[in-house]
Structure 1
Amino acid sequence: MIYSEEINNQLNTIIEKNIAAVKGYRETAENTNNTTFKNMFLEQASKRETFVSELQAEVTKYGGSPKRDTDFTSDLHRTWIDVKQFFSSNNEEALFEEIIRGEENAVKEYEEVLRETQLTDTSERMLRNQLAFIKSSVSKMRSLETQVA
């Protein structure tokens, strides 16, 4: 399998989503008073930082230029989380709803890239491992959401 511009673009899209997730989890951790949730959000941010580093290294390995920041849509989603959190009467429930929505979007992005892009073996393995972690996180967030509802 030859590394192509398409692979580069798709991996950069996933990098952007992960950078947005890092920022979102960090902001969420800053805005909760629940220590358990704060620590969990920081752990999620740390794991997603690892994903970003792995993906950037993969893009660089093949001579591509990895993304270093997010796009407008991701920034807009984080702003929506901030606004929703500010106006919500049950901040934690609203926060979990938005986190789950964002993570479900990430799952869709990963699945789309895996389905529609002919990846190198290492890129495919990396994305599948990261996707498994994100799916597990969605399940964990759903479980916690029911506790705060």
Structure 2
Amino acid sequence: METTEKSIEILNDLIEINNDRVAGFAHAAQELQEKDLDLRTLFMQLRDESRRNVHELGSAIHKTGGEVEMSMSGSGAIHRMWLDVKSAFSGHDRKTVLEECERGEDAIKKAYQAALSAESGLAPEVTEIVTRQQQRIIEAHNQVKALRDAED
């Protein structure tokens, strides 16, 4: 039973950071100028990806009989507040927004890496879900990083 409870806790943590990601990308898209339609489109796609992640993680929790927690983390709120402050000084600069989005992607990558560590004890079917989501997050991180690097 302890392993199931730990798995539910890990999955709820991933739901939290995906909820942070949803809010972060929605906010970042609002910070962009009209000419940055390409980034807005990307950010909305990544927001929607995290919404799908939340749904899939929630389904996995329900299958184990657990309860889904749909909150956002405190660090996510701090991350969004920092973006507000920084963008106020930067004039909603494309590179600055990309840098902050990359920072957020670094955080979610670490969360998924921790969830997949040997100590987590996730069931094989849950590990498969988390691994698949992690791969898409790594791809998104690399895409955001490449766009940021192109701004130099």
Is the structural similarity TM-score above 0.5?
yes
Task: State the superposition RMSD in angstroms.
Answer: 1.6
Shift >4 Å, 4+ stretches: none
- Asked if 1:16 is matched to 2:20, the reply is no
Question: Match of 2:132?
Answer: 129
Rounded Cα–Cα distance in structure 1 between residues aligned with 2:92 and 2:41: 20
Q: Percent identity?
A: 26
Match for 1:112: what amino acid?
A: A
TM-score, reference length from structure 2: 0.92
TM-score by length of 1: 0.94
Write the letter of the residue equivalent to 1:73: S
Q: Which amino acid aligns with 1:137?
A: A
SS at match of 1:140: helix
**How big is the shift at 1:148?**
2.3
Letter in 1 for 2:113: E
Q: CA deviation at 1:71?
A: 2.0
* Counterpart among 49, 52, 64 of residue 50 in structure 1: 52
After TM superposition, give the deviation of residue 129 of structure 1 in Å: 0.6
Aligned-partner SS, 2:116? helix
CA distance in 2, matches of 1:55, 1:91: 34
Unpaired segments of 5 or more residues in structure 2? none
Q: Give unpaired runs (5+ residues) of structure 1.
A: none
Q: Which amino acid aligns with 1:75?
A: A
Which whole-Å CA distance do the structure 1 matches of 2:18 and 2:114 have between them?
15
- 1:1-149 aligned within 5 A: 4-33=4-33, 34-88=36-90, 91-115=93-117, 116-149=119-152
Count of paired positions: 149
